[in-house]
Amino acid sequence: MSNQIVPSQNFYGHFDAIINGERIPCHNLATARNLVANANRTAIPAPVQPQQVTLDCTAYCSPTGQYYVVVQCGRVDVRVDCHNIHTARAWVRDGVSVAAFQESVKEDHRNVRIKGGWGA
C-alpha cells in the first residue's frame, strides 16, 4: 500500500498522512512529510546492558562500630569493609561487586582468613 499526504478532512490548512491505510492527522505539511519519509524505518533496539557479577556475603559489625561483609571463597573468607550499615545491607541484598572484592584483597592481605575466621 502506498503512503501519501492528503488535505485534512477536519481542519483547513492541515494535512493527514496516510501510512499503510491508516490516516494520521498532522499539524502541518512538514510533519506529514516527515511521517511519510520515516514510515518504512524500523526502530533500533536498545543495547542490552550486561548484568554485573556480584558475590554473596554476610554482614557483621566490629566492636569498634566498623561494618563489614564477609565473602566466602572456598577455604578462605575475605573481609570487605563498608562505609556504613546501609552499604552493608545493600551488599547483603544485592551482592558485593567483584571490583570491591578485588580492592579489598589487594588493599590488605590481612583481609583474608581461613574459613570461619571472620565473625566467629
Stated pTM of the model: 0.55
pLDDT(49) > 90: no
Cell numbers 501510512 correspond to what residue? 19
Q: How far is CA 87 from the centre of its chain?
A: 19
Average pLDDT for residues 23-43, to the nearest whole number? Answer: 85
pLDDT at position 118, please? 65
pLDDT(43) > 80: no
Rounded CA separation 34/116 (Å): 67
pLDDT(120) > 60: no
pLDDT(87) > 90: yes
pLDDT(78) > 80: yes
